[in-house]
Structure 1
Amino acid sequence: MRVIEAFTAAYGSSPQTVWHAPGRVNLIGEHTDYNDGFVLPFAVPWGVTAAVTPRTDGTIRLLSLQSSGEPVTMATHADSKGWTRYVVGVLDMLGDRVAGADIAIDGDVPQGAGLSSSAALEVAVASAINDLHGLGMTPMEIALLGQKAENDFVGMPCGIMDQAASALCQEGHALFLDCRSLGSRNIPLDLAAHGLSMLIIDTQAHHEHAGGEYAKRRAECESAARKLGVAALRDVTDLAGALDQLQGDERKRTMHVVTENHRVEALIGLLRAGAVTEIGALLNASHLSLRDQYEVSSPELDVAVEAALRGGARGARMTGGGFGGSAIALVPVERLESVQESVSAAYAERGFQAPRYLPAIPAPGARRVA
């Protein structure tokens, strides 16, 4: 394993533990997590592997095979920047329970594709530290730790979905998560049995939503909830009445969140009934809502969805935070080539960078690999 080789070469000894945590793709339930709503992600085959040995002197030494390849040494947490903030943030949240570490990171999550490489990094490191120090954290507690690191240390106001998917998903399943109660269960997602494939279309329009737009959407939702007198938009039961009390962007954001929660529940009902081939209409409706009500799509995402449907996909939607990243398409196996040709042609016609196609196979969550 090359991360072990890199660790040994940099630090002079083998790591004491090695953990892998996956990225995720969200089947449905977008921008509902920080509104205490419902989500249905599944883990993807790509992720982050962390090789770790504890230290006792408070120093953190970090090495990433995707960075310069040279270790970065930090005497204080304030020294961190860039990708190192996600790792140092996890250690910072653990306080005096952890006195430094030597860490090597290797990752193969496609960068900027909206597949949550940051959550995979947080969960891999937190799982390794939990293992080394015998902290006894459950997978959900590890997910919450990663979220807190991203919220409080990195400054990204993300919900719990990404970290929970990375920590809790099972192979061949999607994870139904109630983001308020944190109750979860894995729902079988056997696409192949129905002659289907889930295709990730990486638009190559890489996003960076740690800036203003993501935080702005969250603030709009919180403001709308206050005006409606509810703890979160998840609590809106009379949508028509709620919309009568709101205007402008807050009205649109509320419409998306409430209807998206209903779509998650409807899609789970179809999966349980074995009607996997029928979920496409819900994916389409989710995309239209994200495009028109939540306004987080992009020209590249819209073209990918529209062209995939023309090429024979049963349903398609943007996935992830938006403003770029990836779309997913539910495609009959015999139509995969046609869908890819349709999207590629549409991109070429508009002068977009050629997209990348990735098979979305539901993979296992965080696990020790050495």
Structure 2
Amino acid sequence: MTAVNDTATTLFAELTGREPDGLWSAPGRVNLIGEHTDYNDGFVLPFAIPHRTVAAVGVRPDGVGRVRVASTFAAEPVEVAIDELDRLFPTAAGAEPAVPEWAAYPLGVAWALAQAAGVAGTGVDIAIASDVPVGAGLSSSAAIEGATASALNDLWGAGLDRTALARVGRRAENEAVGAPTGIMDQMATMLGERDAATFLDCRSLEARPVPLRIAESGLAILVMDTRVAHAHSTGGYRERREACERGAAIMGVPSLRDVSVADLPRAEELMDDVTFRRVRHVVTENQRVLDTVRVLGEKGPRAIGELLVASHASMRDDFEISVPELDTAVDTALSAGAIGARMTGGGFGGAAIALIEADAERAVSEAVTAAFADAGFGAPHIFTVLPSAGAGRDA
């Protein structure tokens, strides 16, 4: 049993005075490439990481129809009657959640899952612990959703498949928390496989594993968490999404998925500069995902470095979601010998990743740490990851 499992089990015992009925967990994720394409019906290529969120869950023995959630993130538990969930959610766009934000994730999942499966749901206690870095762009939120959804799917007999559970998680994040995110994170955390990324068509939700062969190629993926916190429910993310919707409307298409690289000259003629650059990022990023999948299959992971670098430049210059800390991490990693590097996640902070030689971890980490110190930034949190398994029951 992992330390996170132990922590969740202990917290559950402190909350209830009994053992949980089971432990369910879900991973964070790194997005290898394909940023801000998901809510534009585009393509993404994320993979699950070893860091996980664990939910220790038990049906309430008193038969009371209430959901009580506790977390290592918060001092006090939150308890809500199941028949009150429909009153609390959905959260109006731009409004604060009806419960503390950390609790809106699991409670929102309970609400969305009950609606999706058409089940009443029995009272449960949920204790959550995690070693997914929060605010790093590694989808700690989807890990909470995935662990909670997996548990309630089993305990409530909902019978939903993994894609349906990903939809439940996205609805919780969109309508209970109020964050206008796409479905990439939830699909990555539900469908992750060892040593593979998940190639996802965000329009059809068709997904397939793409072998990465990172370790066997003598490589590693370095995560450089800048520790610059970000929040998707705040304005920058929403503004980018609105710009994408505006660009699609100008082009007369349902979403930017329907705009090709060949359409960009016409788009530039029709749009103001900011809207065009937002559109150009999404359109070229979709193509980079397709190119990355093709190159991985034809040549392997050593050949994708230039695509990663181009992706970062597009996010920095066209989508304008990078920050100096992210640029420093990427530029320094490349200077220290990384094959490729880019920011990952929604931006405005969070983490960057670098594809490196496995034996270069120390050299690249030390170079990035020194560059942060020289720039007067706080020390980054740097660690390696390998593609890992998705959500499921642990005990």
The partner residue of 1:83 within 97, 102, 109 is: 102
The partner residue of 1:209 within 232, 237, 243 is: 232
Deviation at 1:320, TM superposition (A): 0.2
> SS of 1:97's equivalent?
coil
The partner residue of 1:54 within 59, 62, 66 is: 59
Q: Which amino acid aligns with 1:124?
A: A
The partner residue of 1:125 within 132, 148, 159 is: 148
Deviation at 1:213, TM superposition (A): 0.6
Q: Which amino acid aligns with 2:66?
A: T
Whether the 8 Å contact between 1:74 and 1:80 is mirrored in structure 2 is no
Matched, 1:74 2:80: yes
Matched, 1:191 2:214: yes
Partner of 1:363: 388
Counterpart Cα distance in 1 of 2:135 and 2:235: 17
Deviation at 1:53, TM superposition (A): 2.0
Which blocks of at least 5 consecutive residues in structure 1 are unaligned? none
Counterpart Cα distance in 2 of 1:72 and 1:341: 42
Partner of 1:243: 268
Counterpart Cα distance in 1 of 2:42 and 2:313: 19
CA-atom RMSD in angstroms:
1.4
Q: Which moved more, 1:274-283 or 1:35-44?
A: 274-283
Equivalence map 1:261-300=2 (5 Å): 261-300=286-325
Matched, 1:345 2:357: no
Q: Which moved more, 1:73-82 or 1:247-256?
A: 73-82
Equivalence map 1:295-314=2 (5 Å): 295-314=320-339
Counterpart Cα distance in 1 of 2:291 and 2:12: 47
Partner of 2:92: none
Partner of 2:46: 41
Which blocks of at least 5 consecutive residues in structure 2 are unaligned? 1-5, 89-97
> SS of 2:101's equivalent?
coil
Whether the 8 Å contact between 2:170 and 2:183 is mirrored in structure 1 is yes
Whether the 8 Å contact between 1:311 and 1:341 is mirrored in structure 2 is no
Q: Which moved more, 1:94-103 or 1:195-204?
A: 94-103
Deviation at 1:276, TM superposition (A): 1.5
Counterpart Cα distance in 2 of 1:61 and 1:38: 37
Partner of 1:135: 158
Question: Which deviations, in whole Å up to 9, do the C-alpha atoms of 1:308-330 show, x marking residues without a partner?
Answer: 11111111000000000000001
Whether the 8 Å contact between 1:209 and 1:323 is mirrored in structure 2 is no
Q: Which amino acid aligns with 1:71?
A: P
Q: Which amino acid aligns with 2:49?
A: V
Counterpart Cα distance in 1 of 2:201 and 2:394: 29
TM-score (norm 2): 0.90
Q: Which moved more, 1:20-29 or 1:127-136?
A: 127-136
Aligned residues: 369
Counterpart Cα distance in 2 of 1:320 and 1:25: 7
Question: Which deviations, in whole Å up to 9, do the C-alpha atoms of 1:48-98 show, x marking residues without a partner?
Answer: 111112344332211112322x43323444462120011111112124532
Q: Which amino acid aligns with 2:164?
A: E
Whether the 8 Å contact between 2:213 and 2:300 is mirrored in structure 1 is no
Deviation at 1:177, TM superposition (A): 0.3
Q: Which amino acid aligns with 1:81?
A: P
> SS of 1:337's equivalent?
helix
Matched, 1:24 2:29: yes
> SS of 2:354's equivalent?
strand
The partner residue of 1:13 within 6, 10, 18 is: 18
Deviation at 1:14, TM superposition (A): 1.9
Q: Which amino acid aligns with 2:39?
A: Y
Deviation at 1:254, TM superposition (A): 0.8
Counterpart Cα distance in 2 of 1:298 and 1:88: 33
Whether the 8 Å contact between 1:21 and 1:123 is mirrored in structure 2 is yes
Counterpart Cα distance in 2 of 1:29 and 1:270: 15
Q: Which moved more, 1:86-95 or 1:321-330?
A: 86-95
